[in-house]
Amino acid sequence: MIKNMKICVLGCGATGSVFASYLMKGGADDIWLVDLNKAHMDAIRDNGLLLKDPDGESLLKGFHTAYSADEVGPCDILIVLVKSTHTHSAMQGAASCITEKTAVVSLQNGLGNDLDLAQFVPENQIGCGCGRLGTVLESPGVCVSKPAQGITNMYIGPVYGGELAAKACKYIVDCFAKGGLNPEYLDDVRPALWKKAAANSGFNTVCAVLGLTMRQVHEDETALALVKQVLKEASDTAAALHIADNLYDGLVSDIPKAVASYGDYYPSLAQDFLIYKRQTEVNTLSGAISRFGKIAGVQTPTCDVLSQIVTAVQANYDKRYKDKD
Amino acid sequence: MIKNMKICVLGCGATGSVFASYLMKGGADDIWLVDLNKAHMDAIRDNGLLLKDPDGESLLKGFHTAYSADEVGPCDILIVLVKSTHTHSAMQGAASCITEKTAVVSLQNGLGNDLDLAQFVPENQIGCGCGRLGTVLESPGVCVSKPAQGITNMYIGPVYGGELAAKACKYIVDCFAKGGLNPEYLDDVRPALWKKAAANSGFNTVCAVLGLTMRQVHEDETALALVKQVLKEASDTAAALHIADNLYDGLVSDIPKAVASYGDYYPSLAQDFLIYKRQTEVNTLSGAISRFGKIAGVQTPTCDVLSQIVTAVQANYDKRYKDKD
């Protein structure tokens, strides 16, 4: 393991705090946490970060904290974990952390985060990762990690190749593995990202727009057709970009298992949309497939229209017709 | 005026009853009314049909009534006014009314009714009409007509040319004009049908899916873009079918006037969808544009997806997430 890489975690909400904890548990010893949440940053600075996970509690001390990336200085690795809608402003604010030797690794959800980062750094400095981890920020300085059965499959690697990104991603994978997660390094992380994001995009946006659970969508022929159209558009786009040959068949054959496991729930984007009335991550799911479709010259009409609908609704939650039963 | 044409009105709910009343007021003297609503049919048979409109009340006697088209026998004109989702079964049930000399005229809402009829009769026997008339069935035998300022612009004519359809449509226009409506005969009614249906399709489906009024849609850039996409797809399809050259510019320039007049309301399809949880007429609006687009070889992705969404939701009203505020 390469020692003494200076890491800055940009965006330390629940997920950023949990990932930072596993990095430290795994041996990383020069970690800066940056977040606008002053109470959380101050609690970590004064008392350390308490990680609760199925293995128990770990009080982790020695993090550097800051309210702004300006205070951090040049880093070896900048891990981006802000909401994707804030990536642009966060990266502008982090300019002083980044040199030509800084790897910038997005562990944000969904697709297209690399396109956002490519506006700020050369492609060989860009890495991405994906994985599902339930996280909660319980109180300032206290974060909770709920990996299913203690194990989460994560995939981390360069997006466009490049030694610099590869070295940083291997370092992160090393620390995560020693810290208790179950990460895998990939020379090209894009097929894994696309598989996961494509699978999520279909049910997430369709369940949101229809107001139905995954099982209800699965049981309605027209609704399920919409999901499959999204999967097809994602698969065609990934193929046109030479990322993966035929994601579609695998994605369709995975549907029954997903419905058996999570069928009675609304997927996360649908929860944000229906219940919490939050800005959703649509731009990194079907919205990102639309963006990549344009780059690849692939028509993505279902993703286009579903994304437009989600975008228009989330700008007008307060005005929307309320269903009084 | 040609006398003694035998007319059967297939589907005598509020609108069918009102139209039948104006036909009789205008001189038609051999009119059969067919509806499954026995109380309504029996009341008309026993006491006549009472029409209430801004000019006062008219008690109209002499209608023939039937619960089923089987009892009517061959007609000169079959006016179709069932819900478009019931056209197929109604036309099957009306087979004994139709000969090679029968004109079949749909006065149903929206587009594509002629495609449904063309499955049963040759094209030269098919007419269509459009117009907006507020109608209510107040009680059995009593119908209400609320034409704005007493005047309603209706357009009626053959869809595919043909003497037979032309003669029947002229007869209907004659009766309506003498009866108190404001109809216009057109040698080709399709441009008028398309203009009206295209204008309706955009706001109707978009307001429904977004849960926003016309004004709220008009004020949101993304939502308004969806409406304009529908108008563009309708216009392109009408052009490819050689129905009308460029509906789009006129449709877009009409938007501000429509929003000024009806902006604070949900259009009828959106009311069915959001408030009453009824089966909507989506198949004759954006759904019909999709159907015609396929015939014309024009891509209609926005209409396709919006129609799929409306179709999937109206099959699952009872299961849909309820917005508890």
Q: Reduce the secondary structure of A221-270 to three states and give it as a string.
A: HHHHHHHHHHHHHHHHHHHHCCCCCCHHHHHHHHHHHHHHHHCCCCCHHH
Predicted confidence (pLDDT) per residue in A216-269, tens digit: 999 999 999 999 999 999 999 999 999 999 999 999 999 999 899 889 989 889
Q: How far apart are CA A153 and CA B38, in angstroms?
A: 65
Predicted confidence (pLDDT) per residue in A86-114, tens digit: 999 999 999 999 999 999 999 998 899 99
Cβ-Cβ contacts under 8 Å for B104 (sequence gap 6 or more): B77, B78, B80, B91, B98, B117, B120, B121, B125, B126, B127
- Give the residue on A whose Cα is nearest the Cα of B205: A309
Q: Which residues of A touch B302 (CB under 8 A)?
A: 301, 305
pLDDT-based confidence at residue A149 (cuts at 50, 70, 90): very low
Cβ atoms A122, A165 nearer than 8 A: no
Burial environment of residue A256 by CB neighbours within 10 A (0 to 12, 13 to 18, 19 or more): exposed
* pLDDT over 90, % of chain B: 84
Instruction: Tell me the average pLDDT of chain A.
Output: 93
Homologous superfamily, domain A191-314: N-(1-d-carboxylethyl)-l-norvaline Dehydrogenase; domain 2 (1.10.1040.10)
pLDDT higher than threshold 80 for residue A161 = yes
Predicted confidence (pLDDT) per residue in B8-54, tens digit: 999 999 999 999 999 999 999 999 999 999 999 999 999 999 999 88
Q: How far apart are CA B54 and CA B303, in angstroms?
A: 38
- The arithmetic mean of pLDDT across residues A270-281, rounded, is 93
Chain B residues within 8 angstroms (CB to CB) of chain A: 209-213, 216-217, 220, 222-223, 225-226, 229, 266, 274-275, 299, 301-302, 304-306, 308-309, 311-313, 315-316, 319-323, 325
Identify from B305, B313, B317, B322 which residue to disrupt to test chain A contact, counting A C-beta atoms within 10 A and taking the largest count: B305
DSSP assigned state of B82: S
Locate A152 and state its tokens: 């989460």
- The answer to whether the Cβ–Cβ distance between A313 and B210 falls below 8 Å is yes
Q: How far apart are CA A45 and CA A60, in angstroms?
A: 11
- ipTM metric: 0.84
CA A275 to chain centre: 21
- The answer to whether the Cβ–Cβ distance between A299 and B304 falls below 8 Å is no
In the block, which residue shows the tokens 């010259």? Answer: A297
CATH number of B191-316: 1.10.1040.10
Sheet strand arrangement including B49-53: B56-60, B49-53, B142-146, B134-139
In the block, which residue shows the tokens 């460029």? Answer: B246
Identify from B207, B218, B222, B303 which residue to disrupt to test chain A contact, counting A C-beta atoms within 10 A and taking the largest count: B222
DSSP count for chain B of H helices, then E strands = 12, 12
- The answer to whether the Cβ–Cβ distance between A312 and B210 falls below 8 Å is yes
Task: Return the H-helix or E-strand segment holding A30.
Answer: none
pLDDT of residue A98: 97
Q: How far apart are CA B157 and CA B153, in angstroms?
A: 13
The residue type at B187: D
- Give the residue on B whose Cα is nearest the Cα of A270: B321
Q: How far apart are CA B134 and CA B148, in angstroms?
A: 8
Cα distance from A271 to chain B (closest Cα, Å)? 10
Cβ–Cβ contacts within 10 Å for residue A257, how many? 9
Of A213, A226, A319, the CB nearest to B312: A226
Of B220, B311, B316, the CB nearest to A312: B220
Instruction: Tell me the average pLDDT of chain B.
Output: 93
- The arithmetic mean of pLDDT across residues B201-217, rounded, is 96
Task: Return the H-helix or E-strand segment holding B301.
Answer: helix B301-314
Cβ-based contacts under 8 A for chains A and B? 99
Sheet strand arrangement including A103-106: A64-66, A31-34, A7-10, A77-80, A103-106, A126-131, A153-158, A182-185
- The answer to whether the Cβ–Cβ distance between B211 and A315 falls below 8 Å is no
Q: Which residues of B touch A322 (CB under 8 A)?
A: 323, 325
Can you name the CATH fold of A7-188? Rossmann fold (3.40.50)
Nearest to B165 by CA among B117, B108, B131: B117
Is B191-316 in the same CATH topology as B7-188?
Answer: no
Sheet strand arrangement including A49-53: A56-60, A49-53, A142-146, A134-139
Cα distance from A55 to chain B (closest Cα, Å)? 37
Cβ atoms A61, A101 nearer than 8 A: no
Of A209, A305, A313, the CB nearest to B301: A305
Q: Which residues of B touch A301 (CB under 8 A)?
A: 299, 301-302, 304-305
pLDDT of residue B132: 75
Q: How far apart are CA B142 and CA B270, in angstroms?
A: 27
pLDDT-based confidence at residue B324 (cuts at 50, 70, 90): low
List chain B domain ranges.
7-188, 191-316
Of A211, A225, A313, the CB nearest to B321: A211
- The arithmetic mean of pLDDT across residues A47-62, rounded, is 94
Of A210, A225, A319, the CB nearest to B212: A319
- The arithmetic mean of pLDDT across residues A23-40, rounded, is 96
Cα distance from A219 to chain B (closest Cα, Å)? 10
Q: How far apart are CA A228 and CA A233, in angstroms?
A: 9
Cβ atoms B49, B17 nearer than 8 A: yes
Task: Return the H-helix or E-strand segment holding B319.
Answer: none
pLDDT higher than threshold 50 for residue B149 = no
Q: How far apart are CA B140 and CA B174, in angstroms?
A: 28
Residue B33's SS3 state is: strand
For the CA atoms of A135, A137, A142, A147, the dihedral, rounded to the nearest 10 degrees, stands at -10
Cβ-Cβ contacts under 8 Å for A40 (sequence gap 6 or more): A12, A17, A137, A140, A141
- Give the residue on A whose Cα is nearest the Cα of B322: A323
pLDDT higher than threshold 70 for residue B2 = no
- Give the residue on A whose Cα is nearest the Cα of B206: A309
Q: Which residues of B touch A210 (CB under 8 A)?
A: 309, 312-313, 316, 320
Cα distance from A203 to chain B (closest Cα, Å)? 13
Predicted confidence (pLDDT) per residue in B248-289, tens digit: 999 999 999 989 988 998 988 999 999 999 999 899 999 999
- The answer to whether the Cβ–Cβ distance between B220 and A302 falls below 8 Å is no
